Structure 1
Amino acid sequence: MNIIKETHFNRELKVFENRPENLFAMLEASAKKCPDHEAIVRNEVRLTYKEMVDKAEKIAGNLQNSMCVQKGDRIALLLGNSIEFCLLIFACAKIGAIVVPLNTRLREKELSYMIKQSGSKLLFVDDEFLEKVENMRDEDSSLEVQYFFLVGDQTAKRKDYLPFEILDQPSTVVEINVSEDDPLFIMYTSGTTGLPKGAVGSHLGAIHSSINYQSVLQSNHETRTLIAVPLFHVTGLIGQFLHMIRVGGTSVIMTRYKTEEYIRLTVEEEITFLFNVPTIYIMMMAHADFSLNSYPKVNCIAYGGAPMSTETIYKLKKYFPNAYLHNAYGATETSSPATIMPQVYDAAKVDSVGLPVPVGEMIVVNELDEPCLPGEVGELLIKGPMVVESYWNNETANHTSFLNGYWRSGDLAKIDGDGFVYIVDRKKDLINRGGEKIFSIEVENVLYNHPQVLEAAVVGVPDPVFGEIVKAVIVAKADESIDIEEVRAFVAQHLANYKVPKLVELVSELPRNPAGKILKTALKNIPSVK
């Protein structure tokens, strides 16, 4: 697609020409091209594109006519991966309502804050998470939601919740104008003050991210993806589901990741496109069932969120010989991808997270916000139609998080002379040992190549002499034992002495958020061996 320049959100942006006018139009375009093609598969349910459009329009009409939902109203979803989640995304998009996908693993206090801060009018909840909502209603009398909907088997038992099925009745949508600049979702991300920030994503952003993936990964209507990461996260929602809607492909949905089921579905559903954090691939290839199958249909493997060891990359290439491997980097605020590794690249670029997406613009700046030279490390700033417009009702964050149309990622990075981006560390994860700056990812990359190490994470912990020292938390491979002194010696062979972990802790697994990213704050409190 041709790329032109337009002004959106008071920013001059590179955009794709002849794009859909809003997200529902993107669905309609695929339904027109391939009405009988499978759009969503979950267990025994298989929805074609035509069926999906019909169901989403019914839900949209009932939201308007029975629930009095108007353009701009917020609709909160406390749902696991499901058909209902997918349909609600497009029903809300049709009538200009704003979806608030909630992290199902959060505590009641956190969820209550998000529902109230967003001013959500409706709340949809799976019966699996009903107890959380009941606790919220008991503990917080200010939790004012006009309608509660229950999805699941307990619907008939709860008279104070509306059953989802009532939205599937015939109802005509009152057509309204939904612009591509209108808000599509509010996704909450961690805030520096301790309170979550609601990133406001637009139709424009989701559409451009979907086209970015299509352009770089070369996906099409034959592409079939298996979604095991949460749909309330941008990787599952945009990197997989909306991406498939754009190209007319198929999304096979798992409620949650289970290794045996993931392997089975990859084979039975003839999956061609996998997208996960490295840990999922490691667990998948270590399972006894994995080597019993072959995977000739898989032609695209994407990953991100953590370093990938050279051993894991080697195994992926071995077991998926027909697949291109794509490292990808992004955030909630970039509506999923900011960079993607191209299909073909020089082996020397293997540590890169790729090139900026086709409509993305990036600069690296120093502490004075001055542009860095190629190869110099600084904070990565990102611009493009996929970047969120603002944070919901948060002027402080809006003032500090954007600079001249660019979003401040908070990541330390460098861009080489060929335009490839390298993420060096999070600014907050940079370790300062007696004035010496240590990038945690640099140490982690070495540890990942140790023959007995399955996973590793590095953090800085307080020290009375140096201010901070390096701590490594390591997961050993199955049936392997790790000698801590040998690990230190291994790191010392590759890095300067001051970068060698002073503290080491062996654990059975690393703490992670629902998107699979390691929770480094939790690692600082794990007892260590000196």
Structure 2
Amino acid sequence: MINFASVVDRNADRFPDGIALSEGDREVSHADLRTRVDALSNAFLEMGIDRGDIIGVLLYNHIEFLETMFAANRIGAAIVPLNYRLSAAEWAFILEHADAVAIVTEAEFVEKVDALVPGLPHVKNKLTLDTPTDNSWTEYSALVRRHWGSASELVDVEPADLQRLMYTSGTTSRPKGVMLSHQNLLYKNLAHILEFSLTSADTTLVCGPLYHVGGMDLPGLATLHAGGRLCLLRRFDPAAVIDAVEHLRPTNVWLAPSMMNSILQLPDIASRDTSSIRFITGGGEKMPIPLLDRIARTFPGAWFADAYGLTETVSGDTVNDSAHMRSKVGSVGRPVAHTQVAVVDDDDVAVPSGTLGEIVVRGPKVMSGYWRDPEATAKVLRNGWLHTGDIGRIDADGFLYIEDRKKDMIVSGGENIASPEVERVLYENPDVIEAAVIGVPHPRWGEVPKAFVVLRPGSTVDEDSLKEFCRGRLAKYKVPSSIVYIESLPRTPSGKILKRELREVDS
């Protein structure tokens, strides 16, 4: 099997002077990226890191994040990206569960990592991007300088060998380690290169975190695979994103709904130049139609590629193509190359078109399983399909529509209520910025919908008025029984609404 890190070699040969990665004023060409990755690979080998080992990466969006990944892959090792927004205890759980042998981080996190390492016997090496405070740390740049100019061997790998270990955001339970292989990444990239017509002329603005598949992979690494460029923003900031769009002229960007919403709230957004963007990839949760309309006005030259995917499939299983962006509004499109998507009932039997059921996926970009968790793996990988736990339907033309998480479907008096349907109506109200709907117990109906709403600043709309707004657009049983106003919705770092926290507040 071809090692995923071979992408670096190919681009260095084909586009040596082209820019591979940029971050602020820093630029690394494809040729220099190979030199830097070679040096770091040899440094890892010198430190005793070898094939099958796992390196923790606790960084903001830096060039070194991607260099570490490619260098690890080059020698047959893998990385486990760490969400910098987690607590130290959560980092410790992931590093221990992954058996990480090293960690690469930066000054902001050094002290916290130092406090964790004594309880993590597998972690033998600590690298920092900054000047070390003591000799237990190694300076990243010093390693690269020491091995500068040394060639490294590209290790042959098996298709299922680990490329990256991605821990889920934990919307339902404790994080699980998703095993992504070299095969998964290669097929994902090829599918996205075809889907988005990516070439060496493309530039992806990476403003989502690299510890998440949205930031890293949608299309992310596929752009680099095609010989293009990744422009890294240290972390998401709506004003910085629009500044980067105007000055760096990227051709595409991934934005979760919450990220897009914050950009659209910028006071001067209507006057900004977004003409370089030819497509925006979305996903992470269902995109309300009113939000899609605002996107079209703000990025008039862009195709909004609403997508569906999971960490378990390296993202982007379906994409709504530009030809159907309007005729299939609300759809997340059709499957990308080498991927099959179906909708099944509780007995895993395919349902007729237009019928709700659980979404299942299969193909070479589906994970091999959850790290050290055969029980959880067996639960989702059945009969050759990945069972997503998401509810959707496929229309007669093969377009997928997401309706809800399986566990979030509200059953009221025997009737199914998809919470996004109620949320979409709430979003249509001009006073509403964000909305989330959950099911709450009811003595007669079993469950009834309850809404949590974030209002536009200065709005004075009351609960009764919003309910009346919904009554004109929804069946009576779908109208929220109560509406709670809150300052913000709880979300994972990737932008998904944490409905379990809303349930905890309600209880």
Q: TM-score, normalised by structure 2?
A: 0.95
Cα distance in structure 2, aligned partners of 1:159 and 1:460? 54
The answer for the alignment partner of 1:473 in structure 2 is 452
Tell me how far 1:429 sits from its aligned partner: 0.9
Select the residue among 416, 428, 441 that pairs with 2:395.
Answer: 416
Supply the RMSD in Å over aligned alpha carbons. Answer: 1.9
The answer for the alignment partner of 2:430 in structure 1 is 451
Cα distance in structure 2, aligned partners of 1:392 and 1:246? 27
* Match status 1:516 vs 2:475: no
Q: 406-415 or 299-308: which moved more?
A: 299-308
Tell me how far 1:185 sits from its aligned partner: 0.8
The answer for the alignment partner of 1:31 in structure 2 is 12
Q: Which runs of 5+ in 1 are unaligned?
A: 1-19
The answer for the alignment partner of 2:43 in structure 1 is 62
Cα distance in structure 1, aligned partners of 2:123 and 2:316? 33
Select the residue among 30, 54, 61 that pairs with 1:49.
Answer: 30
Letter in 2 for 1:128: E
Select the residue among 104, 127, 150 that pairs with 1:149.
Answer: 127
Among all aligned residue pairs of Structure 1 and Structure 2, give the percentage whose two residues are the same amino acid.
Answer: 32
The answer for the alignment partner of 1:90 in structure 2 is 70
Q: Deviations over 1:20-75 (max 9, x none)?
A: 923111222222221111111101110111111110111011111x2111111111
The answer for the alignment partner of 1:158 in structure 2 is 134
CA contact (8 A) 2:332 2:402 kept: yes
Q: How does 1:88-487 map to 2 (within 5 A)?
A: 88-137=68-117, 141-152=119-130, 155-168=131-144, 169-170=146-147, 171-189=150-168, 194-345=173-324, 347-487=326-466
Cα distance in structure 2, aligned partners of 1:413 and 1:193? 19
Letter in 2 for 1:31: A
Cα distance in structure 1, aligned partners of 2:105 and 2:432? 40
Q: TM-score, normalised by structure 1?
A: 0.91
Q: Which runs of 5+ in 2 are unaligned?
A: none
Cα distance in structure 1, aligned partners of 2:287 and 2:379? 32
Paired residue secondary structure (1:156) = coil
Tell me how far 1:156 sits from its aligned partner: 3.0
Cα distance in structure 1, aligned partners of 2:251 and 2:485? 36
Paired residue secondary structure (1:457) = strand
Cα distance in structure 1, aligned partners of 2:245 and 2:448? 43
Q: Deviations over 1:397-454 (max 9, x none)?
A: 1211111211110101111111101111101111122332211111111111122111
Cα distance in structure 2, aligned partners of 1:333 and 1:249? 25
CA contact (8 A) 1:365 1:378 kept: yes
Q: 374-383 or 189-198: which moved more?
A: 189-198
Select the residue among 18, 22, 38 that pairs with 2:3.
Answer: 22
Paired residue secondary structure (1:364) = strand
Cα distance in structure 1, aligned partners of 2:460 and 2:11? 52
Paired residue secondary structure (1:445) = helix
Cα distance in structure 1, aligned partners of 2:189 and 2:50? 26
Cα distance in structure 2, aligned partners of 1:137 and 1:60? 23
Paired residue secondary structure (1:255) = coil
Q: Deviations over 1:457-515 (max 9, x none)?
A: 11112334433221111112233332221211122222211111112111222111111
Q: Deviations over 1:67-92 (max 9, x none)?
A: 11111111111111111101011111
Letter in 2 for 1:447: L
Cα distance in structure 2, aligned partners of 1:56 and 1:175? 11
Cα distance in structure 2, aligned partners of 1:346 and 1:149? 45
Tell me how far 1:175 sits from its aligned partner: 4.4
Paired residue secondary structure (1:400) = helix
Q: Deviations over 1:103-141 (max 9, x none)?
A: 111122222111111111111122212233233246xx3
Q: Deviations over 1:150-189 (max 9, x none)?
A: 223xx33232212112320224424431244321011111
Q: 183-192 or 441-450: which moved more?
A: 183-192
Letter in 2 for 1:110: E
Cα distance in structure 2, aligned partners of 1:313 and 1:423? 15
Letter in 2 for 1:50: A
